[in-house]
Structure 1
Amino acid sequence: MTAVLLVGWRPKAIAALRRLGAEVTCAFRPGEDDTAAPAQRPHRSVRVADPAGVESVLSGLARQGLRPADFDVVCSQQEFTMVTAAAIGGDRSWMPLPTAMNLRDKQLQKLRIRQAGLRVADCWIVDDIRDLQVPAYPCVLKPPAGAGARDTFVLGGPAAADDARERLLDSRRRGPWLLERFMTGHEHAVDGVVRDGQLRHLAISRYQSNLIRMRDGAHMLYVAQDPAEHPELYRQGWELAEAAMRALGHTDGVFHLEAFLDEDGFVFSECGGRICGGKADVMAELKFGIDLHDEWARAVLGLPAGRQRPARAGNYAHGWLPLPAGRLVSAPGPDQIAERPGVREAHVWLTPGDRVVDPRTSSGAGLGAALLAGDTVADVERDFAELVTWVQQTSKVDQDA
């Protein structure tokens, strides 16, 4: 039985590893496993204050008399713990440390992509926000290793740059920051599987609105693109993903890549070596026949890739259910949401008393997520818009001033 150390709480990853016969130890924060099903629980739990901190994880292991060398493989399926797992795993890591760094640091990513000759936005590192100089407007200011569009600012002109500088100084977040040129194409998500350096499976979704528009109140909805209906899109997406994986050194695992589509094709935006949030995994399995968690676990354990079923007919999309920022008082549950028109599956992660994150600050904020299906794309988009309205009308939030 392969002994696996999983850094960061990921119940579906645990279940996938267990199904393939692994003995799983997981390092995670206390309470994260409160609602886990029996099949999603690790064989051994190591509770730590910060799964992304090397010291925290190593100390948690040591308190139980464990070392990374006690495991056959050390891995992560979580954005913020990938580098930690690669660093403490060493030669037992499921991923080389340089690859983990390339898949996390956006400036490193863009450097590798540009060196490979792929189209990518110009970008510059701002070590200290006090030294912010914008070479051309519009630009986007973001953390070099963020996720979910958190702490992202659109700088349309000098006034916006001055405002962002002052806000970050007030919050004592001086940097480093990444400044990149604003991209105008339509944003797409490219999710897939790479094994032995070869691209195996691919699924492409179109964002209903580019992620950056969430700051204007746009809904975060990913609409699946059917390979039979969009062969040229998939040809371009396959070429981009293959070249990007080579450039980043990602030879075995899963990836979530974002790119802008313009009249000349795809422009690389960023890429993570993990599974997209929301209901992306469910949509990938239902629509495209790809079990991303199983494929990730197979890569971790060195097992052959699974088979991809043909794409299923129909239109699918998944999105987040935004609520105004504040303290949640009441909201519909997943069973009620699943009864709404077009909804195939729903997940709610907030309970009364929890803080509701401002949906304009993160793509993954809100009450939960839903997967929808319909005869046409218009049906899916209409049902999602009506679902968001219904959730907001039937929920109660003590809103922030």
Structure 2
Amino acid sequence: MTTGHLLVITPGLRAYREYLLQSISREFRVHLVATEPPTWELAYTVGHTVVADLSDVDGLVRIARAVDAEQALDGVICWDETWIEQTAQVASALGLPGGDRRCVERCRDKYRTRAALDAGRVPQPRSVLVPGREEALAVAGDIGYPVVVKPRALAGSFGVVRADSPAGLLQAVEFTEASGELAPDLPAHERNILVEEFVRGPEISVDSVVHRGTVTPVCLARKEVGFEPYFEETGHVVDPDDPLWSDGTLAEVIVRTHAALGFTDGVTHTEIRLAPSGPKVIEVNARIGGGMIPLLHLMGGGPDLGLAAADVACGRPPRLRAATGHRRVAAIRFYYPPKEDSVIADVRFEKSMLPEQVVRCGPLAAAGEVKSPPPRGLMDGRVAYAIALGADAATCRAALDEAGQALRVDVA
């Protein structure tokens, strides 16, 4: 039995996001807004509207009002970073939760994020917005190398790079300036470059649901990063018994972060470095986490974060029922082509070589696509993934190593 009517703005890529539509459709009637006629999405929706341009907020509002007139909408949700500001405007126009566009902008715009967190005295890396290379050199010299150069308002680690020297900084700025071409639909700013302190320590992410100002951390993942000096996310590990769950300082930082940003309703994905001096906030995304992290959480026996996100989008307390039975560690690994400009002919795993801990795997590239490893192929350079379940993180990582040996990438 469905319990609400939800407008979903763009489904996302099937491999990364189908599980969300699947979960939500069990409890909600879903009307999908997409730029292409739906195919696989039809199994999870009761209606759809195809639009030419998701940046047309007025058009989205007209669609939402028309859907609402047929059957009242309870909420609007989006998990694509590119369109979360437009989604907030639609929610605002219909008087639905999550309609605070300024709050979403504070998360989207990393410069505004830093300013809000500074005002809230939330621990974070030192960060300076610079207009050009000369100013970047001066700021980096003041902060001290290594530093991180990042764009102000992109996503998915696009344009983020570590610089270890003045020469490396100039190369990093050039790389970051060019990165905007990879995401033309995201906002651009005249002053677009941030130079930040490099925080040493492991990186984690925390997905939280927020209902009327109450912040509930739900999913904690240990991030695996590769292809230095870039920050490509090559995998994640979700451990239900991670000792960080009992870290009071971390919990306090997460709550203070949301208060500083004024985030009161919705779901967030907060990235944090565990520095020797304590946790420091790297960024906050006003959406559910990517990289299949919530799916790992679900497969390991944790609560359904997608369903909880739909609940708070409709102004309801989140349902956070954990699966019955023993919970397990879940981990994912992403795999990349052997060289730049690889024309993919076939991607497959030799199933006879996969260990029993690998419970799901598959291609992320189709025949004919051209793929490159980072830095040219940041996230979109991935050709396959594998998910493992095990008693501990080491077991999962070993299984994913074996999966890498079983992967076959044929290049035309």
Q: Report TM bin, short chain.
A: 0.7 to 0.9
Q: 2:309 aligns with which of 289, 293, 296?
A: 296
Distance 1:197 1:14 in 2: 26
Query: Which residue is equivalent to 1:94?
Result: 97
The residue number in structure 1 matching 2:159 is 151
Q: Structure 1: which 5+ runs fail to align?
A: none
Q: Which stretch shows the higher mean deviation, 293-302 or 102-111?
A: 102-111
Name the CA shift for 1:200/1:390 in 2 (closer, same or farther; >3 Å): same
Q: Distance in 2 between matches of 1:372 and 1:214?
A: 27
Pairing of 1:217-236 with structure 2 (within 5 A): 220-227=234-241, 230=243, 234-236=247-249
- Does residue 28 (structure 1) correspond to residue 34 (structure 2)? The answer is yes
Q: Partner of 2:8 in structure 1?
A: 6
> What letter is aligned with 2:292?
K
- Structure 2 counterparts to residues 348-387 of structure 1, below 5 A: 348-360=363-375, 361-363=377-379, 365-387=381-403
- Residues 214 and 371 from structure 1, CA distance in 2 versus in 1: closer, same or farther, beyond 3 angstroms? farther
Corresponding letter in the other structure for 1:351: A
Measure, in 1, the Cα distance between the counterparts of 2:337 and 2:76.
37
Matched, 1:320 2:334: yes
Q: Does the aligned pair in 2 maintain the 1:330–1:352 contact within 8 Å?
A: yes
SS class of match (2:199): coil
Q: Which residue of 2 aligns with 1:193?
A: 209
Q: Flag structure 2 segments of 5+ consecutive residues without an equivalent.
A: 13-17, 182-189
Structure 1 SS opposite 2:167:
helix
Identity among equivalent pairs (%): 19
* Equivalent residues of 1:8, 1:28 under 8 A apart: yes
Change (3 A) 1:211 1:86: farther
Q: Which amino acid aligns with 1:98?
A: R
| Alpha-carbon contact 1:74-1:85 (below 8 Å) kept | yes
Alpha-carbon distance between aligned partners in 2 of 1:262 and 1:245, rounded to the nearest angstrom: 20
Match of 1:140 among 143, 148, 154: 148
Match of 2:187 in 1: none
| Contact 1:201/1:290 (<8 A) preserved | no
Deviation at 1:375, TM superposition (A): 3.0
CA distance in 2, matches of 1:317, 1:121: 28
- Cα distance in 2 for partners of 1:88, 1:219 equals 31
Check the 8 A contact 1:211/1:363 in 2, yes or no: no
User: Per-residue CA shift, 1:278-315, capped at 9, x if unaligned?
Assistant: 33122111335220110011111223321332794443
How far apart are 1:37 and its partner, in Å?
Answer: 4.7
CA gap of 1:200–1:329, structure 2 versus 1, over 3 A, is: same
Equivalents in 1 of 2:238, 2:163: separation in Å?
Answer: 30
One-letter identity of the residue aligned with 2:214: Q
TM-score (norm 1): 0.83
Partner of 2:184: none
Structure 1 residue 6 displacement after superposition? 2.5
Q: Please state whether the residue corresponding to 2:399 is helix, strand or coil.
A: helix
Most deviating of 318-327 and 7-16: 7-16
Q: Which one is further off, 72-81 or 87-96? A: 87-96
Distance of aligned partners of 1:265 and 1:170 in 2 relative to their CA distance in 1, 3 Å threshold: closer
Residue 252, structure 1, aligned to residue 265, structure 2: yes
Q: For residues 21-53 of structure 1, what are the alpha-carbon distances to aligned partners after superposition, in whole Å with 9 as ceiling and x for unaligned?
A: 3351x332226x34x1533345122232x43x2
Say if 1:278 and 1:320, in contact at 8 Å, map to a contact too: no
How many pairs does the alignment contain? 384
- Range 38-47 or range 236-245, more displaced: 38-47
Cα distance 1:69–1:260, how it changes in 2: closer, same or farther (>3 A)?
same
Q: Please tell me whether the aligned partners of residues 342 and 372 of structure 1 are also in contact (alpha carbons under 8 angstroms).
A: yes
Match of 1:397 in 2: 411
* Pair 42,140 (structure 1): closer, same or farther in 2 beyond 3 Å: farther
1:76-97 deviations in whole A, cap 9, x for unaligned?
Answer: 2211110111134434253111
Aligned to 1:266: 279
Change (3 A) 1:252 1:60: closer
CA RMSD of aligned residues (A): 3.3
User: Which segment is superposed worse, 158-167 or 335-344?
Assistant: 335-344
CA contact (8 A) 1:287 1:313 kept: yes
The alignment's TM-score, normalised by the length of structure 2, stands at 0.81
Alignment CA distance shift 1:349-1:172 (3 Å): closer
* Structure-2 separation of matches of 1:342 and 1:86: 40
> What is the alpha-carbon distance in structure 1 between the residues aligned to residue 308 and residue 229 of structure 2?
31
Give the C-alpha shift of residue 68 in structure 1.
Answer: 8.8
**Which residue in the other structure is 1:342 paired with?**
357
